[in-house]
Amino acid sequence: MTATTLPAAGDAAHGHGHHYTTLGLDNRKIAIWTFIGSECMLFASLISTYLVYKGRSIKGPFPHEPWTDPVSGKAFPAILDIPVTSASTFVLLMSSFAMVLALAAVQNKNLPKVTLGEKILGSSKLWLWMTCLMGTAFLGFQAFEFTAFIREGLSIRTNLFGSSFFTLTGFHGAHVAVGVCWLFSLLAIDYKRGLQPSDATNVDIAALYWHFVDVIWIVIFTLVYLIK
Protein backbone atom coordinates (compact mmCIF):
# COMPACT_ATOMS: atom_id res chain seq x y z
CA MET A 1 0.00 0.00 0.00
CA THR A 2 2.74 2.40 0.93
CA ALA A 3 4.45 2.02 -2.40
CA THR A 4 1.43 3.35 -4.20
CA THR A 5 0.16 6.01 -1.81
CA LEU A 6 3.48 7.70 -1.13
CA PRO A 7 4.44 10.09 -3.88
CA ALA A 8 7.76 8.73 -5.03
CA ALA A 9 10.43 11.38 -5.32
CA GLY A 10 11.39 12.29 -8.82
CA ASP A 11 8.98 10.23 -10.87
CA ALA A 12 6.11 12.69 -10.88
CA ALA A 13 6.26 14.90 -13.94
CA HIS A 14 3.87 17.39 -12.36
CA GLY A 15 1.98 17.84 -9.13
CA HIS A 16 3.72 18.39 -5.83
CA GLY A 17 5.19 14.96 -5.31
CA HIS A 18 8.79 15.92 -5.72
CA HIS A 19 9.14 18.63 -3.06
CA TYR A 20 11.29 17.70 -0.12
CA THR A 21 9.20 16.87 2.95
CA THR A 22 10.40 15.77 6.36
CA LEU A 23 8.28 12.62 6.54
CA GLY A 24 8.29 11.86 2.82
CA LEU A 25 4.50 12.17 2.96
CA ASP A 26 2.50 14.66 0.98
CA ASN A 27 1.49 17.80 2.92
CA ARG A 28 -2.14 17.33 1.93
CA LYS A 29 -2.21 13.99 3.70
CA ILE A 30 -1.08 15.50 6.99
CA ALA A 31 -3.42 18.46 6.65
CA ILE A 32 -6.48 16.23 6.12
CA TRP A 33 -5.64 14.20 9.22
CA THR A 34 -5.30 17.40 11.23
CA PHE A 35 -8.62 18.58 9.84
CA ILE A 36 -10.25 15.28 10.77
CA GLY A 37 -8.88 15.59 14.31
CA SER A 38 -10.47 19.00 14.54
CA GLU A 39 -13.75 17.69 13.12
CA CYS A 40 -13.80 15.07 15.88
CA MET A 41 -14.12 17.88 18.42
CA LEU A 42 -16.88 19.46 16.33
CA PHE A 43 -18.95 16.28 16.38
CA ALA A 44 -17.99 15.54 19.99
CA SER A 45 -19.60 18.86 20.96
CA LEU A 46 -22.73 18.11 18.96
CA ILE A 47 -23.04 14.54 20.21
CA SER A 48 -22.45 15.41 23.86
CA THR A 49 -25.06 18.15 23.68
CA TYR A 50 -27.52 15.63 22.23
CA LEU A 51 -26.74 13.18 25.05
CA VAL A 52 -26.91 15.84 27.78
CA TYR A 53 -30.32 16.92 26.50
CA LYS A 54 -31.60 13.37 26.09
CA GLY A 55 -34.75 12.95 28.14
CA ARG A 56 -34.83 16.61 29.17
CA SER A 57 -37.51 17.76 26.70
CA ILE A 58 -40.52 18.90 28.67
CA LYS A 59 -42.87 17.97 25.84
CA GLY A 60 -42.89 15.46 22.98
CA PRO A 61 -42.69 14.02 20.47
CA PHE A 62 -39.92 11.78 21.80
CA PRO A 63 -37.43 9.59 19.92
CA HIS A 64 -38.20 6.18 21.39
CA GLU A 65 -41.52 6.32 23.21
CA PRO A 66 -45.01 7.47 22.20
CA TRP A 67 -46.43 10.65 23.67
CA THR A 68 -49.87 12.15 24.02
CA ASP A 69 -50.18 15.91 24.07
CA PRO A 70 -52.00 16.73 27.33
CA VAL A 71 -53.46 19.93 25.84
CA SER A 72 -54.78 18.75 22.48
CA GLY A 73 -55.00 15.07 23.34
CA LYS A 74 -53.22 14.24 20.10
CA ALA A 75 -51.15 11.02 20.20
CA PHE A 76 -47.64 10.94 18.73
CA PRO A 77 -45.85 7.66 18.01
CA ALA A 78 -42.16 7.19 18.78
CA ILE A 79 -40.47 9.34 16.16
CA LEU A 80 -37.41 7.40 15.07
CA ASP A 81 -37.88 4.85 12.28
CA ILE A 82 -35.02 2.44 12.88
CA PRO A 83 -35.60 0.08 9.89
CA VAL A 84 -35.48 2.94 7.37
CA THR A 85 -32.38 4.45 8.97
CA SER A 86 -30.72 1.03 9.10
CA ALA A 87 -31.17 0.85 5.36
CA SER A 88 -29.62 4.28 4.85
CA THR A 89 -26.78 3.35 7.20
CA PHE A 90 -26.10 0.26 5.10
CA VAL A 91 -26.01 2.40 1.94
CA LEU A 92 -23.52 4.82 3.51
CA LEU A 93 -21.29 1.99 4.74
CA MET A 94 -21.27 0.45 1.26
CA SER A 95 -20.32 3.80 -0.21
CA SER A 96 -17.08 3.63 1.78
CA PHE A 97 -16.40 0.27 0.15
CA ALA A 98 -16.91 1.81 -3.30
CA MET A 99 -14.63 4.67 -2.28
CA VAL A 100 -11.83 2.24 -1.43
CA LEU A 101 -12.22 0.64 -4.87
CA ALA A 102 -12.25 4.07 -6.56
CA LEU A 103 -8.96 5.00 -4.90
CA ALA A 104 -7.41 1.66 -5.81
CA ALA A 105 -8.57 2.10 -9.40
CA VAL A 106 -6.88 5.51 -9.62
CA GLN A 107 -3.67 4.23 -8.03
CA ASN A 108 -3.52 1.25 -10.40
CA LYS A 109 -4.64 3.12 -13.51
CA ASN A 110 -1.55 2.16 -15.46
CA LEU A 111 -1.66 -1.57 -14.73
CA PRO A 112 -2.76 -3.71 -17.71
CA LYS A 113 -6.39 -4.84 -17.47
CA VAL A 114 -7.29 -7.99 -19.33
CA THR A 115 -10.17 -9.84 -17.68
CA LEU A 116 -13.62 -8.37 -17.23
CA GLY A 117 -13.13 -8.41 -13.45
CA GLU A 118 -9.93 -6.37 -13.77
CA LYS A 119 -11.69 -3.93 -16.06
CA ILE A 120 -14.58 -3.45 -13.63
CA LEU A 121 -12.34 -3.12 -10.60
CA GLY A 122 -10.03 -0.78 -12.48
CA SER A 123 -12.71 1.68 -13.53
CA SER A 124 -12.31 4.76 -11.34
CA LYS A 125 -15.35 6.36 -13.00
CA LEU A 126 -17.57 3.44 -12.06
CA TRP A 127 -16.57 3.42 -8.41
CA LEU A 128 -16.66 7.19 -8.06
CA TRP A 129 -20.16 7.11 -9.53
CA MET A 130 -21.14 4.38 -7.10
CA THR A 131 -19.81 6.36 -4.14
CA CYS A 132 -21.54 9.54 -5.28
CA LEU A 133 -24.84 7.80 -5.89
CA MET A 134 -24.81 6.04 -2.53
CA GLY A 135 -23.93 9.30 -0.80
CA THR A 136 -26.76 11.01 -2.63
CA ALA A 137 -29.09 8.13 -1.70
CA PHE A 138 -28.15 8.62 1.96
CA LEU A 139 -29.01 12.30 1.63
CA GLY A 140 -32.31 11.29 0.03
CA PHE A 141 -33.08 9.02 2.98
CA GLN A 142 -32.28 11.90 5.31
CA ALA A 143 -34.52 14.31 3.40
CA PHE A 144 -37.30 11.73 3.57
CA GLU A 145 -36.70 11.23 7.30
CA PHE A 146 -36.69 14.96 8.04
CA THR A 147 -39.87 15.67 6.09
CA ALA A 148 -41.60 12.69 7.71
CA PHE A 149 -40.67 13.97 11.18
CA ILE A 150 -41.90 17.44 10.40
CA ARG A 151 -45.16 16.00 9.08
CA GLU A 152 -45.52 13.99 12.27
CA GLY A 153 -45.08 17.15 14.32
CA LEU A 154 -41.40 17.36 15.24
CA SER A 155 -39.50 20.39 13.94
CA ILE A 156 -36.22 21.95 15.02
CA ARG A 157 -38.23 24.32 17.22
CA THR A 158 -40.56 21.82 18.89
CA ASN A 159 -38.46 20.72 21.85
CA LEU A 160 -34.90 20.03 22.99
CA PHE A 161 -34.94 16.68 21.23
CA GLY A 162 -35.95 18.33 17.95
CA SER A 163 -33.30 21.05 18.25
CA SER A 164 -30.44 18.74 19.15
CA PHE A 165 -31.50 15.92 16.79
CA PHE A 166 -31.93 18.04 13.68
CA THR A 167 -28.75 20.02 14.36
CA LEU A 168 -26.62 16.93 14.95
CA THR A 169 -27.91 14.87 12.02
CA GLY A 170 -28.18 18.00 9.87
CA PHE A 171 -24.51 18.78 10.46
CA HIS A 172 -23.65 15.24 9.50
CA GLY A 173 -25.84 15.49 6.41
CA ALA A 174 -24.10 18.74 5.44
CA HIS A 175 -20.77 16.92 5.71
CA VAL A 176 -22.06 14.16 3.44
CA ALA A 177 -23.28 16.80 0.98
CA VAL A 178 -19.84 18.45 0.93
CA GLY A 179 -18.30 15.02 0.36
CA VAL A 180 -20.68 14.30 -2.54
CA CYS A 181 -19.77 17.64 -4.17
CA TRP A 182 -16.09 16.87 -3.67
CA LEU A 183 -16.46 13.42 -5.27
CA PHE A 184 -18.48 14.80 -8.19
CA SER A 185 -15.67 17.32 -8.74
CA LEU A 186 -13.16 14.46 -8.90
CA LEU A 187 -15.50 12.66 -11.28
CA ALA A 188 -15.62 15.74 -13.50
CA ILE A 189 -11.81 15.78 -13.61
CA ASP A 190 -11.84 12.06 -14.40
CA TYR A 191 -14.12 12.68 -17.40
CA LYS A 192 -12.15 15.71 -18.52
CA ARG A 193 -8.64 14.38 -18.52
CA GLY A 194 -8.69 11.06 -16.65
CA LEU A 195 -7.46 10.68 -13.08
CA GLN A 196 -3.88 9.38 -13.09
CA PRO A 197 -1.83 7.67 -10.37
CA SER A 198 -0.22 11.09 -9.80
CA ASP A 199 -3.69 12.30 -8.72
CA ALA A 200 -3.93 9.53 -6.14
CA THR A 201 -3.28 11.87 -3.21
CA ASN A 202 -6.18 14.10 -4.25
CA VAL A 203 -8.48 11.07 -4.32
CA ASP A 204 -6.91 9.75 -1.14
CA ILE A 205 -7.71 12.84 0.93
CA ALA A 206 -11.28 12.87 -0.36
CA ALA A 207 -11.51 9.21 0.61
CA LEU A 208 -10.19 9.89 4.11
CA TYR A 209 -12.80 12.59 4.54
CA TRP A 210 -15.49 10.28 3.22
CA HIS A 211 -14.55 7.44 5.56
CA PHE A 212 -14.46 9.87 8.48
CA VAL A 213 -17.99 11.08 7.75
CA ASP A 214 -18.99 7.44 7.55
CA VAL A 215 -17.40 6.56 10.90
CA ILE A 216 -19.11 9.51 12.56
CA TRP A 217 -22.43 8.21 11.26
CA ILE A 218 -21.82 4.86 12.93
CA VAL A 219 -21.39 6.71 16.25
CA ILE A 220 -24.49 8.83 15.66
CA PHE A 221 -26.58 5.85 14.55
CA THR A 222 -25.58 3.90 17.65
CA LEU A 223 -26.05 6.70 20.17
CA VAL A 224 -29.12 8.36 18.71
CA TYR A 225 -31.06 5.51 17.10
CA LEU A 226 -30.03 2.21 18.67
CA ILE A 227 -29.58 3.09 22.36
CA LYS A 228 -32.93 3.88 23.96
Partner 1 sequence: MATLVAAPPYTSTATESANTGLWSWLTTVDHKRIGVLYLITALVFFVIGGLEAFLIRAQLAVPNGQVLSADMYNQLFTMHGTTMVFLAIMPLSAAFFNFLIPLQIGARDVAFPRLNAFSYWVYLLGGIFITVPIFFSVAPDGGWFGYAPLSTKQFSPQINMDFWVLGLQILGISSLAAAFNFITTIINMRAPGMHLMRMPIFTWMSFVVQFLVALAFPVITIALVFLQFDRFFGTNFYAIGAGADPLLWQHLFWVFGHPEVYILILPAFGLVSEVLPTFSRKPLFGYPVMVYSGILIGFLGFGVWAHHMFSVGMGPIADAVFSLTTMLIAIPTGVKIFNWLATMWDGQLRFTVAMKFGVALVGMFTIGGISGVMHSSPPADLQQTDTYFIVAHFHYVLFGGSMFGLFAGLYYYFPKITGRFMSESLGNWHFWLSLIGMNLTFFPMHFSGLLGMPRRTYQYDAGQGIEVFNMLSTIGTLVLMLGTLFGLINLWKSWKSGERASSNPWGAPTIEWTIPSPPPEHNFDELPKITSRYPLWDLKGTVIAKETTYAEEAGRVQLSAKQLGIPMPNPSIMPLITAAGVIFMFSGMLFTDSNMKLAVGIMIAGAVWWIAGLYNWLLTPLEDAH
**What are the residues binding partner 1 (CB under 8 A)?**
6, 8-10, 14, 16, 18-25, 27, 30-31, 34-35, 37-39, 41-42, 44-46, 49, 52-53, 56-58, 156-157, 159-160, 162-164, 167, 171, 185
Measured from the CB atom, is 21 or 196 closer to partner 1? 21
Phi, psi of 8 (to 5 degrees): -75, 135
The residues, ordered by sequence, that sit 6+ positions from 135 with a Cβ below 8 Å of its Cβ are: 92, 95, 176, 179, 180, 183, 210
Identity of the residue, 157 or 228, whose beta carbon is nearer to partner 1 in the bound complex: 157
Smaller CB separation from partner 1, 63 or 162: 162
| CB closer to partner 1, 52 vs 148 | 52
Q: How far is the CB of 23 from partner 1 (least distance, A)?
A: 5
Neighbours of 222 (CB within 10 A): 11
Residue 60 CB, nearest approach to partner 1 (Å): 12
CA distance 191 to 126: 11
Q: Look at residue 68 and give its three-state secondary structure.
A: strand
Q: How far is the CB of 13 from partner 1 (least distance, A)?
A: 9
CB of residue 17 vs partner 1: minimum separation in angstroms? 10
Find all residues with CB under 8 Å of 201, minimum gap 6, and list them: 5, 7, 15, 17, 26, 28, 29
Taking the complex as a whole, how short is the minimal distance between the CB of residue 211 and partner 1, in angstroms? Answer: 18
Please, which residue, 105 or 205, has the CB nearer to partner 1? 205
The answer to whether residues 25 and 198 touch, using CB atoms and an 8 Å cutoff, is: no
- Our CB check for partner 1 shows the closer of 72 and 115 to be 72
Cβ 31 to partner 1, closest distance in Å?
5
